[in-house]
Amino acid sequence: MARRARPTIVVSEDSTKEIIKKSNSLTIKADMLNKFEPLTDNQKTFFDAYKIGSYFIALHGVAGTGKTFCALYKAIEEVLDKKTFFKRIIVVRSAVQSRDIGHLPGDVTEKMEIYAQPYRQICETLFDRKDAWDRLEEQGYISFISTSFIRGMSFDDAIILVDEIQNMNYEEIDTVMTRVGYRSKIIFCGDYRQTDLRKVSDKSGILKFFDIAQHMKSFERIEFTVDDIVRSSLVKDYIMAKLRYEDIVENKLFK
């Protein structure tokens, strides 16, 4: 998560009425978005890259560093800005942990709802309202889709946020990458260490994708480390311990 900027508050009868009116509005507007500042150097690197117009970015690294939060925040900020040509945000994610969502109850929309929960939570924080995701969705600013249903689509004038990329095989990543249409940008978020793909026949494609993308001048990869963890001190201590453990195991294997 990034740091929320401190607002200037002027209390008056008119401003109180305006606050009440704004909070009761069903329509999400740009001035309702809370402002956040980067908390770490790599968050700032991303903010700066976004500001200069980078359109093919990968935010990679350990959990708790605010990768998805920062990406969705900047995407929403831009889509709500009437001066830009971006009309919508497409959040893309693979239907993992199980890969097959058929066992979940309900229709496709209901089955996918569980995977949209992290973005609902982020939007609630960004706007201080629980219905923020629903309102943005109703206004056509944001939508969620699984890689299971993306083939054949083309996304124009869109900001495509591909989250949990480590849970996609290369064919899925390739399919998502080739959906990028006219005047669109794409942001990938993930960490190869956190993959839920355990079958030999269903291997994560994140590292192969990075190997290919590094040959493209437009590609920018920002690596988030334990120094960027902002979720909590406990998470930071745990991940540092886990990485030390993995180093010990790896050294034993190669001795």
Strand partners, 162: 92, 188
CATH classification number, 37-253, choose in 3.40.50.300, 3.30.70.20, 2.40.50.100, 3.40.190.290: 3.40.50.300
Give the span between the Cα atoms of 62 and 59, in whole angstroms: 10
What is the per-residue pLDDT across 38-80, written as a single tens digit (0 to 9) for each? 999 999 999 999 999 999 999 999 999 999 999 999 999 999 9
Find the range with the poorest average confidence among 127-131, 208-212, 251-255: 251-255
pLDDT of residue 253 exceeding 80, the answer is no
Residue 197 Rama label (left phi>0; alpha psi -120 to 50; beta): beta
Q: How far apart are CA 177 and CA 186, in angstroms?
A: 8
The per-residue pLDDT for 86 is: 97
List 61's β-bridge partners, or say none: 224
Mean pLDDT of 188-199: 89
Indicate the average pLDDT of the chain: 88
**Predicted confidence band at 113 (pLDDT cuts at 50, 70, 90)?**
confident
Distance (Å, whole) CA 72 – CA 167: 19
Q: What does the block give as tokens for 155?
A: 């996304």
Rounded mean pLDDT of 213-233?
97
Confidence of residue 163 (pLDDT cuts 50, 70, 90): very high
Q: Measuring CA to CA, which residue among 143, 148, 162 is closest to residue 99?
A: 148
The ranges assigned to domains in the chain are 37-253
